[in-house]
Amino acid sequence: MSVLVTGAAGFIGFHTSLRLLARGETVIGVDSLNAYYDPALKRARLAQLLDRPGFVFHQADIADRAAMAEVAKAHPDITGYINLAAQAGVRHSLKAPHDYTHSNIEGHLVMLELARANDKCRHFVYASSSSVYGANTKLPFSVEDRVDHPISLYAATKRAGELMSHCYSHLYRIPTTGLRFFTVYGPWGRPDMAAYLFAKAILEGRPITVFNHGDMRRDFTFVDDIVAGVVGVLDNPMADDSGAPPARVYNIGNHRSEKLMDFIGLVEQSLGIKAQYQFEPMQPGDVKETYADISAIQRDVGFAPTTPISVGVPKFIEWFKQYHRV
């Protein structure tokens, strides 16, 4: 099977590509290697992938129709799509809104069009986000809940991706599955996310910024568990036999809502250094608590996360120290 993975040099795309290559798939990786965060980290991930047989890379912007048509032409055997390329980050969407519509809406549409033009497409899997739940207060968040009150443009673009995918499943009978990821962390993680920001500040002797005065909870999900879910989902496209569009959306989280201060405690413990805290109010666009109801993905593809933060955080810190040679 040939799988087109977009955002392959990104955090989740890199781990997903590694897993697919390990089981003998051909992976066509696409990434623009943009400078939202240090492209050196993206290149370092990419170097690992390029070392492995079965991996082909195209540096391209998924919103560039002509470039993506070239990628499709070069690889007529693609049967699966995993669209992970996106402008991520809730807070940045207040500063650079157009980057979000460009990659997450226009780019997502270009990817759906590629799948539509491909008779061999078995499944189109894509990243959504827990942020689509907005300010919902009913916990855990369930895929049955209403998600039409986004509180950041990032969330709005991710929800738009779900709606566009549903439309393509309806019109063209393409099986699509959206994955609402819940705060993913682990080795090779993103520099704009909590685990990385905390580790870096603590090691540099700077205070860590803790929003909502530390009164936050997150369903932190270790990247290996996420990848098991992504690949399990890819292998199980929804059957198109009920008359309804073959479109699904799943939560993919750890199903444990952890106190932010407990997560920070594990970072401190793994580094052996006590942090200095700088407490700040809640950030616009942010939510106080996330907690995933994962019963649907458990039932349909046997998803079963196994990594508590007490195991995952030390693994992240071990990678962080090795990567930064500290």
Please give the positions annotated as active site.
154
Nearer to ligand NAD by Cβ, of 26 and 183: the residue is 183
Looking at residues 246 to 305 of the shown chain, list those that interact with ligand NAD (rule: CB under 6 A).
Answer: none
Nearer to ligand NAD by Cβ, of 180 and 268: the residue is 180
The answer to whether the beta carbons of residues 251 and 142 sit under 8 Å apart is: yes
Single out the residue of 3, 49, 88, 249 in contact with ligand NAD (rule: CB under 6 A): 88
Q: Taking contact as CB under 6 A, which single stretch among the options 83-91, 115-123, 237-245, 303-311 is the one that binds ligand NAD?
A: 83-91
The answer to whether the beta carbons of residues 7 and 31 sit under 8 Å apart is: yes
Looking at residues 20 to 49 of the shown chain, list those that interact with ligand NAD (rule: CB under 6 A).
Answer: 30-34, 42
Looking at residues 182 to 221 of the shown chain, list those that interact with ligand NAD (rule: CB under 6 A).
Answer: 183-184, 190
Q: Taking contact as CB under 6 A, which single stretch among the options 79-87, 205-213, 229-237, 241-249 is the one that binds ligand NAD?
A: 79-87
Spatial distance between the Cα atoms of 254 and 247, rounded to a whole number of angstroms: 23
Instruction: Return the beta strands (E) in the chain as ranges.
Output: 2-6, 26-31, 55-59, 78-83, 123-129, 176-181, 184-185, 208-210, 217-218, 221-222, 247-252, 258-259, 277-279
Nearer to ligand NAD by Cβ, of 57 and 240: the residue is 57
Single out the residue of 5, 11, 164, 263 in contact with ligand NAD (rule: CB under 6 A): 11
Cβ-proximal residue to ligand NAD, closest one = 10
Region for residue 255 given its phi and psi (left: phi exceeds 0; alpha: psi -120 to 50; beta: otherwise): left
Q: How far is the CB of 244 from ligand NAD (least distance, A)?
A: 25
Looking at residues 99 to 138 of the shown chain, list those that interact with ligand NAD (rule: CB under 6 A).
Answer: 103, 107, 127, 129
SS3 168: helix
Spatial distance between the Cα atoms of 171 and 91, rounded to a whole number of angstroms: 34
Single out the residue of 20, 28, 78, 85 in contact with ligand NAD (rule: CB under 6 A): 85
Q: Taking contact as CB under 6 A, which single stretch among the options 178-186, 236-244, 257-265, 298-306 is the one that binds ligand NAD?
A: 178-186
Using CB under 6 A, list all residues that contact ligand NAD. Answer: 6-7, 9-13, 30-34, 42, 61-63, 84-88, 103, 107, 127, 129, 181, 183-184, 190
